Amino acid sequence: MKTCIACGMPMNNKGDFAVGDESKDYCKYCAREDGTMQNYNEKLKGMTEFIVRTQGFDVKAAENIAREMMSKLPAWREL
C-alpha cells in the first residue's frame, strides 16, 4: 500500500491513484484533470473545504488544521 505524498490518503487500488496510474505518488484527489499534482495553494484550498464540510470547523480554523497536516506530508515539508 502506498500513501499519497500530498494528503496522506492510503492508496489501496488502481482507482485511488492519480488518473489510475500506480506509478504516481499522489492520489486522485490531489491530481488535476491532466494528471499533474496540484500545487500547495490548490491542495490547501481543497483540504480546507473538506475539513469545513466534513468536520464543521469555520474556514480559518480549518485552514490552520490543513496547514498543520500538510506540513507533515512529504510533498510540502520543505515549504
What would the pLDDT profile of 49-76 be if each residue is shown by its tens digit?
999 999 999 999 999 999 999 999 999 9
What would the pLDDT profile of 24-46 be if each residue is shown by its tens digit?
999 999 999 999 999 999 999 99
d(Cα 40, Cα 58) in Å, to the nearest integer?
A: 20
d(Cα 49, Cα 59) in Å, to the nearest integer?
A: 8
- C-alpha cell read off for 72: 507533515
Contact 41, 33 (CB under 8 A): no
Alpha helices in the chain (DSSP H): 40-55, 59-70
| pTM for the full predicted model | 0.91
